Structure 1
């Protein structure tokens, strides 16, 4: 949620790659690591 609304929906990979999600939630240095 962002400002009371769902910002984006999708898979972990999709959300981690989305520029707006990265800016609002994850930060520019976020890196999604594989579970392997």
Structure 2
């Protein structure tokens, strides 16, 4: 359980940080870059 919950929490934290520190346009650009 811990091995799966810890990565999810870290990814969630990074997602919130990126979402709060970037505009919607920049956020979509990040998604595109990550999807490549």
Bigger share in helix: 2
TM over 0.5: no
